[in-house]
């Protein structure tokens, strides 16, 4: 892992080395600029589906698309944290369903207010992650074994909590409004300005810190291009959403979690430790990092985000049932960050990959639904996309190793 990729180096006197176009191409092939590939892929996917069905790029369908990706995106945020330490969590689908069931039963059958019920659901996920993370670290059991077993346990717990009815319909507006609240045009534009300003400030501030530290920097022109692209995407998204029902609260929740965890992973000691453990656990241990603690925290946060995703999914569907957290949710939640450049081998990736990857997965699923493709075709295409992403990740890693980079 290169220190300059994920955190700020200590200030030094060496002049900043500028990145040439040839270096940018090399970094693109090595996976360092994965977000550019993903944005291009999203544009291509949208063009293809629009050519097949003219309803794909309508405001109504794109609003539905953004609502559909919130659960996957939220769960994927937690998956990113576990992938960064080089591990995997196969229980997030079942955890999301179980946590949502706990919330629903407390709200509907026991009369709990919305806020305490939601908090109880999130805490359920946190406790599950703490238990699974502790079992994984204390007994050195492979994480996929612990979480695979946990997946079965939490699926059974879901059925037990729901009882004989098998379905709990949500009626508390405090819960259902999470995925069914839309803000007016003025609020949407204010939020767009805030998001663009924060992104621009963060990008330029990070560039200045790298210059002062003497770390390799990108051309200033490229930074402004990136800001301009992000601004254009944000403005277009808000314009589309405002032309339908407005900006959904669920999407704002997803973006807030993505931005929050992006700052945590790139601007805090905990975030640097995540990358260090994923890059080399032994080297991190020798550097004085509490590897076991970092791993437990990562799994705890992962299951907590799975619970948040499950609660948003329940809010959108207005119910929790025996299939909650099932179907392709696990596959899509893991595929999302991998597709967008987070490495399965640990130590490389970005929380933004959760949002970008969820958009890719959601766009493909939404487009296939509009085309009324058979379930068998949908599964094969989704699996093929994940396989392609893993192959790209492996090839990029091989290129980095060939040049002596981890």
* Spatial separation of the C-alpha atoms in residues 303 and 130, rounded to whole Å: 8
26-37: average pLDDT: 57
| 344-400 tens-digit pLDDT | 888 888 898 899 899 999 999 999 999 988 888 888 887 887 787 777 767 766 776
- Strands 247-248, 182-183: parallel, antiparallel or unpaired by DSSP? antiparallel
| The two three-digit tokens of residue 389, written as one number | 């992403």
Task: Show the DSSP H helices in 346-403 as ranges.
Answer: 352-370, 375-402
User: How far is 23 from 152, CA to CA, in rounded Å?
Assistant: 47
* Phi, psi of 213, deg, nearest 5: -85, -5
Q: What pLDDT is attached to residue 13?
A: 38
pLDDT of residue 327: 79
Higher-confidence residue of 380 and 3: namely 380
Confidence of residue 111 (pLDDT cuts 50, 70, 90): very high
Counting residues of the chain whose pLDDT is more than 70, the rounded percentage is 88
Q: Which range among 26-40, 277-291, 377-391 has the greatest average pLDDT?
A: 277-291
Q: What is the mean pLDDT of residues 266-274?
A: 92
Q: Any idea how long the chain is?
A: 406
Indicate if the pLDDT at residue 309 is higher than 90.
Answer: yes
Query: pLDDT class for 107, splitting at 50, 70, 90?
Result: very high
| Terminal alpha carbon distance of the chain | 5
Summarize pLDDT for 131-176 with one digit per residue, the tens: 999 999 999 899 999 999 999 999 999 999 998 888 999 999 999 9
For 340, left (φ over 0), alpha (ψ -120 to 50), or beta?
A: alpha
Q: Which residues contact 146 (CB under 8 A, 6 or more apart)?
A: 132, 135, 136
**Contacts of 127 by beta carbon, 8 Å cutoff, 6+ apart:** none
Rounded CA-CA distance 406/225 in Å is 29
């Amino acid at each position: 892992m290169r220190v300059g990729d994920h955190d700020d180096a200590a200030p030094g006197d060496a002049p900043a080395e500028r990145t040439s176009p040839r270096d940018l191409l090399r970094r693109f092939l090595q996976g360092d600029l994965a977000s550019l590939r993903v944005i291009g892929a999203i544009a291509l996917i949208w063009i293809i589906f629009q050519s097949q069905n003219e309803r794909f790029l309508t405001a109504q369908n794109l609003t539905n698309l953004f609502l559909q990706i919130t659960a996957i995106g939220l769960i994927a945020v937690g998956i990113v944290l576990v992938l960064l330490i080089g591990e995997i969590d196969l229980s997030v689908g079942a955890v999301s369903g179980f946590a949502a069931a706990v919330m629903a039963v407390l709200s509907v059958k026991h009369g709990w207010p919305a806020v305490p019920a939601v908090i109880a659901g999130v805490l359920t996920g946190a406790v599950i992650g703490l238990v699974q993370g502790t079992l994984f670290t204390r007994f050195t059991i492979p994480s996929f074994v612990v979480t695979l077993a946990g997946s079965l346990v939490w699926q059974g717990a879901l059925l037990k909590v729901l009882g004989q009815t098998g379905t709990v319909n949500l009626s508390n507006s405090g819960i259902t409004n999470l995925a069914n609240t839309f803000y007016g045009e003025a609020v949407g534009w204010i939020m767009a300005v805030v998001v663009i300003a924060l992104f621009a400030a963060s990008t330029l501030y990070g560039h200045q810190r790298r210059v002062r530290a003497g770390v390799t920097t990108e051309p200033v022109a490229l930074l402004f291009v990136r800001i301009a692209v992000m601004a254009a995407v944000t403005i277009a998204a808000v314009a589309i959403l405002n032309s339908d029902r407005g900006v959904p609260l669920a999407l704002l929740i997803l973006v807030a979690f993505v931005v929050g965890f992006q700052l945590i992973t790139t601007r805090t000691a905990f975030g640097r430790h995540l990358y260090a453990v994923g890059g080399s656990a032994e080297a991190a241990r020798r550097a004085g990092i509490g590897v076991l603690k970092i791993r437990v925290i990562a799994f705890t946060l992962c299951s907590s985000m799975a619970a948040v995703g499950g609660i948003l999914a329940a809010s959108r569907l207005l119910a929790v049932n025996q299939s909650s957290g099932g179907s392709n949710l696990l596959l899509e939640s893991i595929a999302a960050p991998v597709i967008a450049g987070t490495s399965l081998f640990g130590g490389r990736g970005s929380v933004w990959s959760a949002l970008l990857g969820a958009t890719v997965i959601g766009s493909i699923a939404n487009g296939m639904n509009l085309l009324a493709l058979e379930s068998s075709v949908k599964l094969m295409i989704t699996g093929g996309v994940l396989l392609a992403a893993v192959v790209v990740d492996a090839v990029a890693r091989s290129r980095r190793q060939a040049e002596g980079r981890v």
